[in-house]
Amino acid sequence: AQSVAQPEDQVNVAEGNPLTVKCTYSVSGNPYLFWYVQYPNRGLQFLLKYITGDNLVKGSYGFEAEFNKSQTSFHLKKPSALVSDSALYFCAVRDIGSARQLTFGSGTQLTVLP
């Protein structure tokens, strides 16, 4: 079975500071990993994904994520946070060998303080 853990329900960061939203995963095989963002009253929007290759993945709006196979982690990062980055962030995983759709973490509410 595949699973995702987001250990922090809430992350607060000052505008202009770097941000990190943590994600760890568990799959039986090799993972495909995704980050999505949800703004209030909106659906989920795709940010970035790791399929294979470079461990550092760059995505939309200046976000990036680092895949670490030994630590089974896929943390989301941004060098300089904006107030407009405040939203709910979800990490998701799919086992390469699985026919199922994505398994999501519980979500992390990011608040960027002006």
Among 10, 43, 53, 54, binds another protein (CB under 8 A): 43
Among 12, 42, 56, 113, binds another protein (CB under 8 A): 42
Alpha helices in 2-98 (DSSP H): none
Quote the tokens at residue 105: 């973490």
Site string (83-102) toward another protein, x via CB under 8 A: -------x---x-x-xxxxx
Contacts of residue 15, defined as CB under 8 A and 6 or more positions apart, other chains included, come to 81, 82, 83, 112, 113, 114
Question: Which residues partner with 75 through β-bridges?
Answer: 66
Query: Min. distance of Cβ 82 from another protein in angstroms?
Result: 23
For residues 87 and 69, give the distance between their C-alpha atoms in angstroms, rounded to a whole number: 27
Among 22, 49, 75, 77, binds another protein (CB under 8 A): 49
Quote the tokens at residue 80: 């300089």
Tell me if 9 contacts another protein by CB under 8 A: yes
Where along the sequence are the contacts to another protein (CB under 8 A)?
A: 4, 6, 9, 32, 34, 36, 41-46, 49, 51, 90, 94, 96, 98-107
